[in-house]
């Protein structure tokens, strides 16, 4: 691959091997910068500002091409819906606790974003993989129900009963899923997306409902469906969720900063934890040379502790 | 303050002191959740999804009230404009390096966000403080030029010559500032914002221009102006910049993950660093007991190194 | 400054400007590496391993020179004493929560370390500054009491009543401070350190005791005293505290990983938070075009909520 | 499991369900705290400070029991050896870059620690798994060579040719491995450890050497051997490496802070990156309404750019 070094850097060393090697090392296809010129994926930034929406910019940056305005609006629904679910999710409570420890808003936000890992932030990504497998199954068109049942069974055999994207500990019917589902149906009707991923998700819901109480799509699930319909790869799904949830993380860290506490722990200070380790004991003679063995220092001071 | 505990948590302990103390410890005015119900600042989430834009949601989450669609569009211009400035800013190169070290996309993004501190991410915030002080000066309405000059002088006396939000190492005229400035003028003409912050910024530009070559508003500066016009507090300015730049951080981390390298350092592996510390020496006798003093172990192997 | 590029990198580009500029950019005085050779501050690594202690290595790495074995032992007391104070400090609880979110041990530890900021990790650093100012006061030798009282008063006028390093919410007499204080007295007696910083700290204790109940040196305070006695700069004090507390962060994250929970929030799931924001309201007409104004979507479903 | 709530918290709510649930949620076997009492795994902290070494404390905290002084000294060798390998490893360069962005030392250190993931910090852990499998193979005692060959082949079939812990891009013979190997042989001779893991590692070296040039144990490999000999689980190996490397991360961040730069990117500012994405193009009519289509804004200003 030949690296094309951007023109226009007045102080750059003339074209020696060092500069070329560095340029190749840091190559990128996202933003092209020269003095007085910034282009995103080939579009002058000033042609985008005030013209495209923020969700369209998210799409352009991550995928390289602009979406249609209709596609961008569909992406916007999941970005709007995912911003927050209260202060007790670890990402949010961590950001709030961090905000009281004498660090910047950026550090508090990073602390929250950092824990949106495979388990906390990855349900949508895993759901995208499951549903994507179903849609790509050659028998999906002819027999979605059977294909969905087979993939659910295989998924559970490999990963346990919990199915990412379906059901919620707290909500029976997640109002976000219902609303986004309705908007997605509209978009399918208008031919903006195919509806295959939604069909796969409904087939999974039917499989689950057949086994007892309803386990409907939750917010991770409907988000996965929308992103699949829009052609996003599963692994990028987590990135989009992070961009959405970062708004909540920012808002909670900010709210906590307004309150002005110092060193907020997970519970009020009058609570404590349960120590469950060994009772009082003395340091072995190998370390003490025998001088204190058998006589732990705090035994006399606090005789009724143990 | 009396904590109103949200209704509807079926498994909650009855109203004992523990539950009330916990509820008060984690109190929040952002999101109200009950089974099958999620409200953001009082608005049912399903009324917001598909109705308001993502920038409007950012505003609602951080400030508590919905903006008008016109205000949201103005906020959107700075969110769109700030997403990226190439892979060599520390926040971006760190995210790319992190992405090659065997961590998740969330961790790579957190590593980038974490460094958007006082220096790297704080110029907009500091510019908001400077311009806000100018606007709030009682003489601003009658003599903006003199007020701006006085505040610039005071700022420089306290903080050094560099004025956050003005001038750029690389761009003479930042295309983002020009475009956002034009859109802001339109909004002022329509009465959406007052124009006071822009007036203050132009007065500062005039002060700086009077002293030599033009030092125009850069992207941090015009963003500061827009956020001030829209009524955001300065300290929240950094949060909004982070939300915007997180898009670039996500896109760069993702692009790097597609490339598939392992443990990417800051420069290609054929480069090295300059060691400038002490030359070869031997561990003092106090540590060795004299056995190796004066005879560092690698002296013979590499006789011509030093 | 002329960069001396380390010899021995076989693939390096010949001495062109690019390589020299890179070498200078990444210059360091800590570790000198060439093929089959690693030297720390000039000492061959194989002369240090098995010869000096880990605390001595911490000293060498951060300060550039080896301590005496006696100095290293004194440093070791504060590294050993500071490792943990239970799971409810934010740095620890955050690491435990992170460990349940599907991230690596490194990410869980980073999340904890990240919040050891000005407030949570900075007390020792601030105490070092206060005590250092007292010791450097020209009247300290002749009248430590008066100098201490003046500095305490000045500190409180500038920063509020709380004096970093003195007193504890929980312990009246911190067993760590008592033990380290005794070991420090021994070291003073042996001429290993001067005792000036301890004298300053005792003078501050006397000032505080004169005003009511005893407010003795806590672990941050005695650590500050030891580090000052050993000649560490105040700002590095935080780094040493982080190295010590990282042990606890590692142990707690590891213990949590053994338990195997998923997405651990700050409190058990049967608890909730208090929502204190606006009650149910409808999205303004400017956003809805009037279609849903005045009729929030969840009003009928949940009539007795508000 | 019944939670034993620590005694002695004067302000705690009486034994209601809330306090018990919280105590159980945050249960831990590491540190037992009551007023004026801190015990680590049952040992009063004041009995440990000045008595055991910092590596012994690392062992006690993570494993629950004290090592013998001999075991602690062996652990110390790998903690001392692993602190640094120059500023160009991503964890180090990231910490240095972070230190110039206006964040605290804790944030700079966290940024470095955060990237010690599966690839950058995980080689030792993977090597421990490989060697542990070899040692536990029932035929290991009778035919170590054949068992090692079989496990190497299986590992490579599953993971590719690269064998974690063996060979180094830069060093032919890593001076750290040679020195630690010699100290380990001594410990085996004294009966402190069995030597099984070292035997397994030597068998792997022989397998690799049989295929061409020597691929000896590197620092990750010898560290893995020592930790296995000492009975550490593989997954905790990464934690110990992080504790060691944190010293280097602290030292480099601190050295960078002393230099006083601002916003240090990965390369000096006269270098640039290679943009490899689309050339100049115009925003589609669907977004512009046709007004600017076909006429990108910066085409005229910068006619000779493309």
Which ipTM did the prediction report? 0.91
Q: Token pair of A286, please?
A: 């190998």
Which of D24, D119, D255, D266 would best serve as a mutation to test chain B binding (most B beta carbons within 10 A)? D266
* Three-state secondary structure readout of A84-113: CCCCCCHHHHHHHHHHCCCCCHHHHHHHHH
pLDDT in tens, D153-184: 999 999 988 899 998 777 788 899 999 999 99
Checking if the pLDDT of C6 tops 60, the result is no
**Please, which pLDDT band fits residue B8 given cuts at 50, 70 and 90?**
very low
Question: What pLDDT, on a 0 to 100 scale, did the predictor assign at position C80?
Answer: 98
**Number of helices (H), then strands (E), in chain B:** 13, 3
- Secondary structure class of C275 (helix, strand, coil): strand
Checking if the pLDDT of B180 tops 80, the result is yes
Which string of b and e fits D273-299 if b means at least 16 CB within 10 Å? bbbbbeebbbbbebbbeeebeeebbbe
Question: What pLDDT, on a 0 to 100 scale, did the predictor assign at position D17?
Answer: 74
C61 → closest Cβ in D86, D104, D248:
D248
pLDDT in tens, C175-221: 999 999 999 999 999 999 999 999 999 999 999 987 677 889 999 99
Question: What pLDDT, on a 0 to 100 scale, did the predictor assign at position B297?
Answer: 62
Instruction: Report, as an integer, the average pLDDT of A10-25.
Output: 71
Of B22-36, C73-87, C164-178, D134-148, the one with minimum mean pLDDT is C164-178
Whole-Å CA distances, B164 to A91, B119, B219, C223: 32, 10, 10, 38
Checking if the pLDDT of C66 tops 70, the result is yes
Interface touch B105/A242, C-beta < 8 Å: yes
List of chain B residues whose C-beta atoms are within 8 Å of the C-beta of residue C296: 43-44, 47
Of C159-173, D45-59, D269-283, the one with minimum mean pLDDT is C159-173
Instruction: Report, as an integer, the average pLDDT of D230-243.
Output: 97
**Please, which pLDDT band fits residue A303 given cuts at 50, 70 and 90?**
very low
Question: Which has more confidence, B233 or C13?
Answer: B233
Residue A35: Cβ within 10 Å count: 14
| DSSP 8-state class, residue C59 | H
Q: In chain A, what percentage of residues exceed pLDDT 70?
A: 89
Instruction: Report, as an integer, the average pLDDT of C295-303.
Output: 49
Question: What pLDDT, on a 0 to 100 scale, did the predictor assign at position D305?
Answer: 32
Instruction: Report, as an integer, the average pLDDT of C69-96.
Output: 97
> What distance in Å separates residue C67's CA from the closest CA in chain B?
9
Instruction: Report, as an integer, the average pLDDT of B184-213.
Output: 94
Residue of A nearest to B26 (CA): A87
> What distance in Å separates residue B115's CA from the closest CA in chain C?
11
Checking if the pLDDT of A5 tops 70, the result is no
For chain A, what's the residue count?
Answer: 306
Interface touch B287/C52, C-beta < 8 Å: yes
Question: What pLDDT, on a 0 to 100 scale, did the predictor assign at position D303?
Answer: 34
* Separation of alpha carbons A238 and A123, rounded Å: 8
* Separation of alpha carbons C7 and A129, rounded Å: 50
pLDDT in tens, A75-115: 999 999 999 999 999 999 999 999 999 999 999 999 999 99
Q: Given the structure tokens 């998210």, which residue do they identify?
A: A58
Checking if the pLDDT of D4 tops 50, the result is no
Checking if the pLDDT of C222 tops 90, the result is yes
pLDDT in tens, A263-297: 999 999 989 999 999 999 999 999 998 655 446 66
Checking if the pLDDT of D302 tops 80, the result is no
Question: What pLDDT, on a 0 to 100 scale, did the predictor assign at position C111?
Answer: 98
Q: In chain B, what percentage of residues exceed pLDDT 70?
A: 89
**Alpha carbon B38 to chain centroid, angstroms:** 29
Checking if the pLDDT of C265 tops 60, the result is yes
A23 → closest Cβ in D69, D266, D273:
D273
* Averaged confidence pLDDT in chain C: 90
Would residue A2 be called left, alpha or beta, if left means φ above 0 and alpha means ψ between -120 and 50 degrees?
A: beta
Question: What pLDDT, on a 0 to 100 scale, did the predictor assign at position C298?
Answer: 54
- Secondary structure class of A179 (helix, strand, coil): helix
B182 Cβ partners below 8 Å, 6+ apart?
none
Residue closest to B277 by CA, chosen among A88, A249, C63:
C63
Would residue A45 be called left, alpha or beta, if left means φ above 0 and alpha means ψ between -120 and 50 degrees?
A: alpha
- Helix H or strand E segment including D39: strand D37-40
* Separation of alpha carbons A59 and A63, rounded Å: 6
Of A78-92, B225-239, C289-303, the one with minimum mean pLDDT is C289-303
Question: What pLDDT, on a 0 to 100 scale, did the predictor assign at position C3?
Answer: 36
Task: Show the domains of chain C with their CATH numbers.
Answer: 123-239 (1.10.230.10)
| Helices marked H in C137-174 | 144-159
Which string of b and e fits C284-299 if b means at least 16 CB within 10 Å? bebbbeeebeeebbbe
Checking if the pLDDT of B12 tops 50, the result is no
Of B98-112, B143-157, B289-303, the one with minimum mean pLDDT is B289-303
Question: What pLDDT, on a 0 to 100 scale, did the predictor assign at position A170?
Answer: 73
Q: Token pair of A157, please?
A: 């055999």
* Averaged confidence pLDDT in chain B: 90
List of chain B residues whose C-beta atoms are within 8 Å of the C-beta of residue A104: 117-118, 122, 238
Checking if the pLDDT of B126 tops 60, the result is yes
C185 Cβ partners below 8 Å, 6+ apart?
C198
Question: What pLDDT, on a 0 to 100 scale, did the predictor assign at position B148?
Answer: 97
For chain C, what's the residue count?
Answer: 306
Phi, psi of B157 (to 5 degrees): -60, -35
> What distance in Å separates residue C119's CA from the closest CA in chain A?
5
- pTM recorded for the entire structure: 0.93
Of A282-291, C148-157, D184-193, the one with minimum mean pLDDT is A282-291
Q: How far apart are the first and last CA of chain C?
A: 71
**Please, which pLDDT band fits residue C295 given cuts at 50, 70 and 90?**
low
Q: In chain A, what percentage of residues exceed pLDDT 90?
A: 78
Interface touch C247/D178, C-beta < 8 Å: no
Question: What pLDDT, on a 0 to 100 scale, did the predictor assign at position B232?
Answer: 98
CB pairs under 8 A between C and D: 268
Q: What secondary structure does DSSP assign to C196-228, as a single string?
A: HHHHHHHHHHHHHHTTSS---B-HHHHHHHHHH
Checking if the pLDDT of A18 tops 90, the result is no
The answer to whether C266 contacts chain B (CB < 8 Å) is yes
Q: Secondary structure of chain A: what % helix, strand, coil (to 5)? A: 50, 5, 45
B202 Cβ partners below 8 Å, 6+ apart?
none
Instruction: Report, as an integer, the average pLDDT of C88-98.
Output: 97
Question: Which has more confidence, B160 or B248?
Answer: B248
Question: What pLDDT, on a 0 to 100 scale, did the predictor assign at position B122?
Answer: 86
List of chain A residues whose C-beta atoms are within 8 Å of the C-beta of residue D282: 43, 47
- Show the beta-strand stretches assigned E in A27-134: 31-34, 37-40, 43-44
**Please, which pLDDT band fits residue C16 given cuts at 50, 70 and 90?**
low
The answer to whether D80 contacts chain B (CB < 8 Å) is no
Q: In chain D, what percentage of residues exceed pLDDT 70?
A: 89
HSE, CB side, 13 Å, CA atoms: give it for residue D108. 29
Question: What pLDDT, on a 0 to 100 scale, did the predictor assign at position D3?
Answer: 36
* CA geometry: angle A251, A252, A255, nearest 5 deg: 85
Dihedral of alpha carbons A146, A150, A151, A155, sign: positive
Dihedral of alpha carbons D66, D72, D75, D81, sign: positive
Q: What residues pair up with A274 in beta bridges, in sequence order? A: D5
Q: B292: exposed, middle or buried (C-beta count within 10 Å: 0-12, 13-18, 19+)?
A: middle
Instruction: Report, as an integer, the average pLDDT of D192-203.
Output: 98
Question: What pLDDT, on a 0 to 100 scale, did the predictor assign at position A295?
Answer: 63
**Please, which pLDDT band fits residue D8 given cuts at 50, 70 and 90?**
very low
* Separation of alpha carbons D235 and D128, rounded Å: 9
Instruction: Report, as an integer, the average pLDDT of A171-195.
Output: 95
| DSSP 8-state class, residue A6 | P
pLDDT in tens, C236-252: 999 999 999 999 999 99
> What distance in Å separates residue A300's CA from the closest CA in chain B?
34
Question: Which has more confidence, A298 or D208?
Answer: D208
Checking if the pLDDT of C171 tops 90, the result is no
Question: What pLDDT, on a 0 to 100 scale, did the predictor assign at position C304?
Answer: 35
The answer to whether A36 contacts chain B (CB < 8 Å) is yes
Instruction: Report, as an integer, the average pLDDT of B20-28.
Output: 95
| Contact (Cβ atoms closer than 8 angstroms) between residue A36 and residue D301 | yes
Checking if the pLDDT of B7 tops 90, the result is no
Q: Secondary structure of chain C: what % helix, strand, coil (to 5)? A: 50, 5, 45
Question: What pLDDT, on a 0 to 100 scale, did the predictor assign at position D219?
Answer: 92
**Please, which pLDDT band fits residue D7 given cuts at 50, 70 and 90?**
very low
Question: What pLDDT, on a 0 to 100 scale, did the predictor assign at position A161?
Answer: 85
> What distance in Å separates residue B197's CA from the closest CA in chain D?
26
Of A73-77, D3-7, D262-266, the one with minimum mean pLDDT is D3-7
Checking if the pLDDT of A304 tops 90, the result is no
| Contact (Cβ atoms closer than 8 angstroms) between residue C195 and residue D64 | no
């Amino acid at each position: 691959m030949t690296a094309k070094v951007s023109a226009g850097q007045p102080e750059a060393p003339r074209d020696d091997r060092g500069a070329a090697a560095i340029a190749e090392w840091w190559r990128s296809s996202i933003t092209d910068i020269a003095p007085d010129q910034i282009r995103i994926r080939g579009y002058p930034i000033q042609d985008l500002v005030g013209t495209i929406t923020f969700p369209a910019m998210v799409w352009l940056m991550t995928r390289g091409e602009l979406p249609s305005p209709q596609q961008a609006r569909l992406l916007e629904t999941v970005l709007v819906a995912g911003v927050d679910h209260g202060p007790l999710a670890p990402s949010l409570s961590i950001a709030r606790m961090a905000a009281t420890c004498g660090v910047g808003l950026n550090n508090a936000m990073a602390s929250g974003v950092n824990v949106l890992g495979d388990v906390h932030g990855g349900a949508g990504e895993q759901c995208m993989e499951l549903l994507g497998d179903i849609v790509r199954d050659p028998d999906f068109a002819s027999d979605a129900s059977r294909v969905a049942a087979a993939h659910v069974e295989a998924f559970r055999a490999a990963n346990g009963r919990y199915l990412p994207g379906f059901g919620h500990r707290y909500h029976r019917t997640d109002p976000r899923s219902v609303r986004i589902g309705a908007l997605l149906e509209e978009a399918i009707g208008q031919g903006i997306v195919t509806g295959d991923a939604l069909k796969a998700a409904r087939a999974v819901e039917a499989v689950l409902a057949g086994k007892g109480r309803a386990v409907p799509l939750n917010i991770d699930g409907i988000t996965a469906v929308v992103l699949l319909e829009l052609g996003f790869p599963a692994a990028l799904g987590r990135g989009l969720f992070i961009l959405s949830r970062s708004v909540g993380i920012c808002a909670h860290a900010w709210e906590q900063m307004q309150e002005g506490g110092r060193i907020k722990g997970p519970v009020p200070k009058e609570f404590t934890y349960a120590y469950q380790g060994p009772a009082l004991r003395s340091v072995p003679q190998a370390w003490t040379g025998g001088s204190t063995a058998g006589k732990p220092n705090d035994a006399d001071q606090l005789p009724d502790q143990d």
